[in-house]
Structure 1
Amino acid sequence: MRFKQDFFEQLDGFYSQVYPQPISNPHWLGWSEDAAQLIGLSQPNDELLMQLSANHAAPGASYYAQVYSGHQFGGYTPRLGDGRSIILGEAIGPHDAWDVALKGGGPTPYSRMGDGRAVMRSAVREFLVSEALAALNVPTTRALAVIGSDLPVWRESQETAAITVRLAKSHIRFGHFEYFSYTQQGDKTQLTQLVDFTIQQHFPHLTTDKAGYVQWFNEVVAATAKMIAHWQSVGFAHGVMNTDNMSIIGDSFDFGPFSFLDTFKEDFICNHSDHEGRYAFGQQPGIGFWNLQRLAQALTPLIDSDDLINALNQYQRHLVDQYLQLMGQKMGLPSFEYNQQQVDKKHLDAAQAEQQKQDLALIGEFTTMLEKNQLDYTNSLRQFGQLDPTSTQSSLRDDMQDTVKYDEWFAAYQLRVGKLADINQWQQARNAVNPKYILRNYLAQEAIIAIEEQGDNTKLEQLYQLLRQPFAEQPDMQDFAKRPPDWGQGLIMSCSS
């Protein structure tokens, strides 16, 4: 790996230099060929294993933990920071530079009495979900590898430590801006420095002046809305949408008790610590907006309130436009209303606005039927690849208990789809955007159990390879597309998982 150190060299005072602590008997559990290509690597080797397990120093690495704050479950925590993640620097790839971080690399000044370690089960889950989301074309951080060890750590019981090697285009979070806004007692120096750095690194087409700041915040609002629209379209529940877990560039970030939906439930909660359902699946769009409001509040020393409010007022438009674009592709709705030219417009005309309203209602009625009939979200959408909109007969109809309601919905759906020139081509287009395979929690759990009980990472490797091609049929892997067994339905995870 070849590193540059822009954050480390340009933002002194924004981090603490800290060296990771090695894990004993390191061994590769998982390796992402796709993520490796992003930073110019090919195959794993013994020396790289020793570097990424902190047993050897990585040439050119700086090793530091960032400081930030954040709103956690609605309450503000003034000082958080990287409690178990240590950044080596920005690895230079063929096209971009990616931060390389060792998640589980040991204690930092921000560990708050914790051991700074990640348990194997959480490291495996983060590795899998990072690469699964990327294959689904959802904006996300990546995972180069997961490294196991025999180092004991204690959670509810004794487990073994592991390290996820995370790649991120940026580790800058909403919480960074909150920290440097609220801890400087009216001094805007570091907040300005952070905004300027963020723009120069990640929004280089913008200027670092008042006009550039306004446009930057508008783009952050749009990127956040589009990320959450992707989550809703693929049925992904993040689980812990604290402001310190929100990426400033709109990438899915910091995975804990996440879950993809099995049976569709609007109020599905995947985090067993979320007793009030703050971060339930259906709450994610609203929480995204709430988090952006907290970011806007932190930016008031630099950006006029009216400009911040105007940008926030565009959030719902970005969210709806992106969601309709994605769901329209999944369900085969004509997409000319939502081409990029229309998405970039600030206002839709009356006819387009009415069409959006009707399409949202059509999609909403469909997901309501899924919920009432307790149907699998991913498998139901996949059936659009076998659907003939000119025929009333379909496997979707066969799954419905209330066929009268379905027939009413389908009649409206047929009118919206209209005539098709080539049904085979239409069905192929649906299969290209509706995955057959997702990272179901029970599949991840089976891979984790195999490692825990037999030391066997075969299932992990098999699952990783499966999820690299989520839209392909993969005839030998049909069982992985089935609904979970009873024990695997709606698994709820802890923050330490």
Structure 2
Amino acid sequence: MTAFQPETAILTLGDAFFDPVQPADFPDTILRFRNDRAAAQVGLGHLNDAEWTAHFGRFAPLPGSLPQPLAMRYHGHQFRSYNPDLGDGRGFLFAQMRDDHGRLMDLGTKGSGQTPWSRMGDGRLTLKGAVREILATEMLEALGLDTSRTFSVIETGEKLYRNDEPSPTRSAVMVRLNHSHIRYGTFQRQAYLKDEAAMARLCDYVLANLAPQASGPTPAAAVLDHAVHTGARLAAQFMAAGFVHGVLNTDNINITGESFDYGPWRFVPAWDSGFTAAYFDHGGLYSFGRQAEALQWNLYQLAGALRLIAPLDDLRGSLEAFPQAYGAALADAMLGRLGVARRDPQADTALVQTMEKALVATQMSPDRFFFDWRGGVLRGTSAVDYTAEAFAPFIAAVVPYAGTAPTHPYWCDAEPCTMLIDEVEALWAPIAADDDWAPLHAKIAAIRRMAEAHKA
């Protein structure tokens, strides 16, 4: 079993990066979800339920880690409008530790109360929002994405009022496990303040703790190069998963390239580049097919911030490398979900293009497609007519990649495991009506079974 290895690395940045805060004093703490797999990897699997609730519902400090929660300060572009009045408004950094691979990890919260950055908000999270984040992170992790992991959900006994869902509704506090909560907006804040020393400390922190393999002519250039490649990877992983994050603002992208902070997310029912997740994204800025564009735009804002301490010539090469990095990452992600090994860049690109064209032409479910063709071989029988002309180029392109059909029992199921919005609502309904959590737990078990099949 991994031993708990507490850290306080964030304190080396100095108090200009955060505000010490107090968590909310909730009227109740009912444990609803604990991620024992994740807990075991950071040395917290030994906690009993009472200890768990004390730490992740009442926020008693973890021994040797941060003595007090910290609300992080940052700025950001929100739908491409710059906002200097941002920061952790309903969450904080609660603790840091090392995982079983020696990586620095953060435990951050959502719904833990008001902070100096709450901007008139109540600092709370709905229980439904927490359930949605469990489902998003479990599904994305199963599909191989670099994502935050929902670590804990505790119902808090308050009634919340929201304009976009039936109110009053139940409340919760959630804890997520991330490799980092340093956002692009953290760098933007230092640039806005013209604080060169703070920017240099931030780059040094990232390179020492989060990206030790990154390289470049200056620390800032090394940070940007790391961000370009992790950002390209994230955009590609979103596409292969058929996932729409919904709000890819610069304050929602972290420097380690993990997907996190799930609000109006969706999985696409069909391969539609214009599909959006947020009802307020009227122009489709963060639609399914524009996510790579959004992340590239965000990288330009990060580069603009880093120019405070680095010349443009040191940054330009990494920015110009994004299209190539994205193309390679898309081939990795799409062929990875198909379950075949890459052969050579030209053939790999051609295979990806034929897959996308077939999915667009037929408007079929990507979950169904990848389920049927796992290993590059058509799996048994299917409700889809793959003799249709639209699939002919893909079938011709996949022949050199085709291996043997996978053997995990999951691949013999009648239907793939999916996570469309109607399923999310159906899983929430029994919780809301009867406090029945059994369907949710059954779905989590099904998702984890799918994850085992992908790994096998």
Aligned-pair distance for 1:231?
Answer: 0.8
CA distance, structure 2, for counterparts of residue 293 and residue 90 of structure 1: 29
CA distance, structure 1, for counterparts of residue 319 and residue 117 of structure 2: 31
**Could you say which residue in structure 1 is the equivalent of 2:367?**
378
From 122, 132, 141, the counterpart of 1:125: 132
Aligned-pair distance for 1:397?
Answer: 5.3
- Closer, same or farther: CA 193–97 of 1 in aligned 2, 3 Å: closer
Deviations 1:343-398 (A, max 9, x none): xxxxxxxxx4xx45533431231121232xxx222012211149757x9x973752
User: Equivalent residues in 2 for 1:305-344 (5 A)?
Assistant: 305-331=312-338, 335-338=342-345
2:417 maps to 1:437: yes
CA distance, structure 1, for counterparts of residue 182 and residue 373 of structure 2: 39
Aligned-pair distance for 1:30?
Answer: 1.4
**Could you say which residue in structure 2 is the equivalent of 1:77?**
83
Q: Partner of 1:194: helix, strand, or coil? A: helix
Q: TM-score, normalised by structure 2?
A: 0.89
- Closer, same or farther: CA 304–151 of 1 in aligned 2, 3 Å: same
- Closer, same or farther: CA 332–57 of 1 in aligned 2, 3 Å: closer
* AA of the residue aligned to 2:350: Q
Aligned-pair distance for 1:63?
Answer: 0.8
* AA of the residue aligned to 2:323: Q
Aligned-pair distance for 1:57?
Answer: 5.1
2:300 maps to 1:296: no
**Could you say which residue in structure 2 is the equivalent of 1:176?**
186
Conserved in 1, the CA contact under 8 Å of 2:340 and 2:401? no
Q: Say how many residue pairs are matched.
A: 442
2:249 maps to 1:268: no
CA distance, structure 2, for counterparts of residue 473 and residue 81 of structure 1: 39
* AA of the residue aligned to 1:195: C
**Could you say which residue in structure 2 is the equivalent of 1:361?**
353
Conserved in 1, the CA contact under 8 Å of 2:410 and 2:450? no
CA distance, structure 2, for counterparts of residue 366 and residue 430 of structure 1: 24
* AA of the residue aligned to 1:453: A
Q: TM-score, normalised by structure 1?
A: 0.82
Q: Partner of 1:79: helix, strand, or coil? A: strand
From 24, 41, 44, the counterpart of 1:41: 44
2:9 maps to 1:6: yes
Query: Could you say what the CA RMSD is over the residues aligned between the two structures, in angstroms?
Result: 2.9
Aligned-pair distance for 1:36?
Answer: 1.2
Conserved in 1, the CA contact under 8 Å of 2:376 and 2:403? no
* AA of the residue aligned to 1:328: L
Structure 1 unaligned spans of 5+: 339-351, 475-497
Aligned-pair distance for 1:279?
Answer: 0.7
Structure 2 unaligned spans of 5+: none
User: Equivalent residues in 2 for 1:7-22 (5 A)?
Assistant: 7-22=10-25
From 400, 410, 417, the counterpart of 2:398: 417
From 377, 382, 385, the counterpart of 1:398: 385
* AA of the residue aligned to 1:67: R
**Could you say which residue in structure 1 is the equivalent of 2:247?**
240
- Closer, same or farther: CA 222–397 of 1 in aligned 2, 3 Å: same
CA distance, structure 2, for counterparts of residue 388 and residue 107 of structure 1: 53
**Could you say which residue in structure 2 is the equivalent of 1:195?**
203
**Could you say which residue in structure 1 is the equivalent of 2:171?**
161
Conserved in 2, the CA contact under 8 Å of 1:436 and 1:473? no
Q: Partner of 1:85: helix, strand, or coil? A: coil
Conserved in 2, the CA contact under 8 Å of 1:146 and 1:164? yes
* AA of the residue aligned to 1:398: D
Aligned-pair distance for 1:473?
Answer: 7.2
Moved more, 85-94 or 49-58: 49-58
Aligned-pair distance for 1:85?
Answer: 0.6
Q: Partner of 2:97: helix, strand, or coil? A: strand
Q: Partner of 2:107: helix, strand, or coil? A: strand
2:445 maps to 1:470: no
